[in-house]
Structure 1
Amino acid sequence: MKRIFTIILLGAITAFNAQVIIGDALGTATTKTSVLLEFAKGNKGLIVPYVRTLPAPLPITAGTILLDASTATAARMKFSNGTSWIDLSGQDGNVTSALTIQPSSVVETGAKSIIGARSSGADGVLVLESTTKAMVLPTVADVQNIPSPSPGMMVYINKTGAKRLAVFNGTTWAYWKP
């Protein structure tokens, strides 16, 4: 019942072309006109899907981000530019223990949520589509404040002199500066 209510709610939000804030009513963006999805401040991150087999053949929808766990001891965060996979981690992570608690097969292969337009036909668990709006990642002051980061976690570090994207591959954080 809760799942049905969530789907109906997301569908209604999409119909009104509204912004979605997860965690509170404020979010972190000061100007909301170009935001499609955002998260509350805190010491939590967005966890991307794990895959045990890297999607192929290419092209894969540009903008796809995932944790490649095809080799559990060499897991890496990856991004698709539409024609190839780009490594975001820079080093291997070990997700062996995380995979033991993850189901080894997908129960609902067609399940997905779409926020925004339905124009591209992009395939994914959560698809954000807009030509004028973007997603604001969860914001933290420091990854050291996250007590138990999960493999596949992404956050934006908003700290004076150290503003950057951080991704966790299961073992270490990798940082991307603008």
Structure 2
Amino acid sequence: MKNIFITILLVGVSFVNAQVIIGDDLGTAGTKTSVLLEFAKGQNKGIILPYVRTLPAGLALVGGAIVLDATDATKARVRFYNGTTWQDLSGQDANLTTPTDFMSAQPTIAAAPEVATAQAIIGAQSTTVDGVLVLESTTKAMVLPIVSDVNNIPSPSPGMMVYVNKLGAKRLAVFNGAKWSFWKP
């Protein structure tokens, strides 16, 4: 009887759709059916994009990738891969070496070699996509950390991304290390 109960429980759990909320157990989305990853409300924090010294390329690169391009650390920009080419989201350069040397805090490949299987996957057991954090879903999305104003973020880090939910100014905001850039829907 015990084995039958455990089997039924395991089968039932396999049909449950998982969602990850970072920061609390409520998140920001009122309806959770289309959300794969979301963040706590009112934290004045953002998600930090990976710094890359070489823009990713190859077969495992898919549309939707977003990185902080530090190919030239004095001209860093947030970039988005649209499936064909890398698009600039910053619109301006940032120097990641002065006045604060952010690049010295980022390990080189020699100092911290990357393992191909070292990635977090949410929404699936595995993926063919090459990324640090991969959200695998055809029906669910990520809800970015929501802030009322980027000026309320005490120390934004290069590569930070947030959604500004301000009356008359709802938009995506990316910080390249020098300035915020805003993308309005």
Show the counterpart of 2:49.
48
CA distance in 1, matches of 2:31, 2:158: 31
After TM superposition, the score normalised by the length of structure 2 is: 0.84
Secondary structure of 1:100's counterpart equals helix
Q: Does 1:27 align with 2:27?
A: yes
Show the counterpart of 1:171.
178
Secondary structure of 2:74's counterpart equals helix
Show the counterpart of 2:102.
98
CA distance in 1, matches of 2:162, 2:44: 9
Q: CA deviation at 1:108?
A: 3.4
Secondary structure of 1:83's counterpart equals coil
Deviations for 1:25-51, whole angstroms, at most 9, x for unmatched residues?
010111111000000021100001000
Deviations for 1:103-142, whole angstroms, at most 9, x for unmatched residues?
1123332210111135751110110010110000000000
CA spacing shift, 1:117–1:98, aligned 2, 3 Å: same
Counterpart amino acid of 1:23? G
Q: Contact 1:52/1:71 (CA < 8 Å) preserved in 2?
A: yes
CA distance in 2, matches of 1:103, 1:158: 34
Q: Does 1:159 align with 2:166?
A: yes
Q: Contact 1:50/1:68 (CA < 8 Å) preserved in 2?
A: yes
Q: Unpaired runs of 5+ in structure 2? A: 1-12
Instruction: Pick from 147, 157, 161 the counterpart of residue 150 of structure 1.
Output: 157
Aligned positions of 1:1-178 closer than 5 A:
16-41=16-41, 42-57=43-58, 60-96=61-97, 97-105=101-109, 106-110=112-116, 111-118=118-125, 121-178=128-185
CA spacing shift, 1:14–1:123, aligned 2, 3 Å: farther
Secondary structure of 1:174's counterpart equals strand
What is the aligned length? 166
Deviations for 1:79-124, whole angstroms, at most 9, x for unmatched residues?
0011100000001011121111111123332210111135751110
- What do you get for the CA RMSD once the two structures are aligned? 1.9
Secondary structure of 1:73's counterpart equals coil
Q: CA deviation at 1:15?
A: 7.8
CA distance in 1, matches of 2:95, 2:26: 35
Instruction: Choose 1 or 2 for highest CA Rg.
Output: 2
Counterpart amino acid of 2:96? V
Secondary structure of 1:167's counterpart equals strand
Identity of aligned residues (%): 69
CA distance in 2, matches of 1:144, 1:101: 24
Q: Contact 1:167/1:173 (CA < 8 Å) preserved in 2?
A: yes
Counterpart amino acid of 1:55? P
CA spacing shift, 1:18–1:54, aligned 2, 3 Å: same
After TM superposition, the score normalised by the length of structure 1 is: 0.87
Higher mean alpha-carbon deviation, 80-89 vs 57-66, is at 57-66
